[in-house]
Amino acid sequence: MSVERNRRILLAHVPQGMRVEADFNRGETAMPACSDDGLPARTRWLSHETCLRGRISGRQSYVAPISIGSVMEGGCERSFRRSRRILPKMPR
């Protein structure tokens, strides 16, 4: 059985002009354990919106900046995987 890995996109440096693949690095870590009431999810797509430019440039903003070497944040599409969580039955 293969060990599941957590793949991440990291900010390599502040992009100059249009963003290119070299502005980011890929990293892997061990998949964190999911608690009994957790809901593990797989991110299929990560959206890199224009509004993130301020966060990756280090400019003053109402949200914390994304620093060099940090995991990229953004909107995403996820699929949920197995879970040990017992969901309540919905009333009919």
Could you read off the pLDDT of 17-33 as tens digits, one per residue? 888 899 999 999 888 77
pLDDT given for residue 82 in this prediction: 64
Count of domains for the chain: 1
Q: Tell me, yes or no, whether 88 lies in a domain.
A: no
Report H helices in 1-91. 52-57
Q: Tell me, yes or no, whether 44 lies in a domain.
A: yes
Nearest to 82 by CA among 43, 44, 46, 36: 36
Q: Tell me, yes or no, whether 50 lies in a domain.
A: yes
Q: Tell me, yes or no, whether 91 lies in a domain.
A: no
Task: Give the domain extent around 24.
Answer: 5-80
Q: Tell me, yes or no, whether 64 lies in a domain.
A: yes
Q: Tell me, yes or no, whether 86 lies in a domain.
A: no
Q: Tell me, yes or no, whether 90 lies in a domain.
A: no
CA distance 70 to 67: 5
Quick: pLDDT tens for 37-54: 777 778 888 887 777 888
Give me the CATH number covering residue 49.
Answer: 3.90.180.10
